[in-house]
Amino acid sequence: MERNLGMDLVRATEAAALRSGRWMGRGDKQGADQAAVDAMRMALNSVPMNGIVVIGEGEKDEAPMLYIGERVGNGEGEEIDVAVDPVEGTTLLAEGMPGAIAIVAVAERHSFYNWRGIPYMDKLAVGERAKGVIDINAPVAYNIRAVARTLNKQVEDVTVVVLDRPRHKDLIRQIREIGARIKLIPHGDVSAGIMTSIENPPADILMGIGGAPEAVLTAAALKCLGGEIQCKVWPRNDEERARLAELGIDPKQVLTTRDLVRGENVVVAATGITSGEFLRGVEYFGGGARTHSVVMRSRSGTVRYIDATHRWDKLMRISDMPYVH
């Protein structure tokens, strides 16, 4: 993958954001997601690559488009891995809440971790300045103190972002006991993990249990940004524990950034759908819209933020045209 596909990929996330953004607050998660999937798939198929979706909308029987194993791109070059989330935060979008994004990541073939049907992971993520000081097997207080020291902060000034879920009741209690700040989020832990590594980060640490596919997308972005993520698979029940035993996977094994994304040439593109602390959402005006995106590449360490104006009468490709329901 010698070519930098960043600008090609961002057109796919822009297309997904432009179409799905019109569903903001309409209460229809499925409709919003389908609009994004349709637009992203069409745009991806014009990208000069030979991509295979390894993280997508689900198995082929569940997802007619952007399913795991689907080929995307125009078929040029060697095969590469593609990870997509056309709407990360479908509930956020459907309910008109902040923080929904469209995101795509690509890397060399067999780079992305195969989550093998175990949908959840326990996660710990930090930005570049705190890289190397965290340990997911250590107590919560240890990690918060370690990050505070390396960031030259008081513990009381450290912000931990956590998904607001009943399963995190004890985690939240431990964070409060040590005195750190907590940012509870309803959905969207890819954005939350990435936020630890951007300039002037609104959060210092991501902690807690979230989606396994989202962990891989977060790792791809952190690999570009210099951050770090550690994870362990989190089986929810006896059936999933039996599945791990069948696969020979140790639930105590720590998966690092390198385990989740083995490739060294990783490209990630994301576009805001609803405005959040990471990216601004789509802004519609008479005859067009504005989008806010980011493109990052691990090989060069380049991070580009893109403010784009899209005018409906100037768009040439079907994938760029406004979605009409």
Query: Do 289 and 18 contact (CB within 8 A), yes or no?
Result: yes
- Say whether 129 sits in a helix, a strand or coil: helix
**Locate tokens 């997601």: which residue?**
33
CA separation for the pair 23, 122 (Å, rounded): 31
Say whether 57 counts as a known binding-site residue. yes
DSSP track, 166-233: GGGHHHHHHHHHHT-EEEEESS-HHHHHHHTTSSS-S-SEEEEEEEHHHHHHHHHHHHHHT-EEEEEE
Q: What are phi and psi of 2, to 5 degrees?
A: -75, -30
Confirm whether residue 81 is marked as ligand binding.
Answer: no
Residue 248 CB partners (closer than 8 Å, separation 6+): none
Element (H, E) at 18: helix 6-20
Identify the three-state secondary structure at position 81: strand
95 is in an annotated binding site: no
Per the CB < 8 A criterion, the answer to whether 12 and 43 are in contact is yes
The reply to whether 8 sits in an annotated binding site is: no
Alpha carbon distance 99, 280 (integer Å): 8
In 210-313, where does DSSP find H-type helix? 212-225, 238-247, 257-260
Kindly list the distances between the CA atom of residue 106 and the CA atoms of 19, 53, 216, 243, 261, in Å, as whole numbers in the listed order.
22, 9, 11, 28, 10
Q: Is 204 annotated as a binding residue?
A: no
Report the distance separating Cα 297 and Cα 13, nearest Å. 16
Q: Specify binding-site residues.
A: 33, 57, 85, 88, 214
Q: Specify binding-site residues for Mn(2+).
A: 33, 57, 85, 88, 214
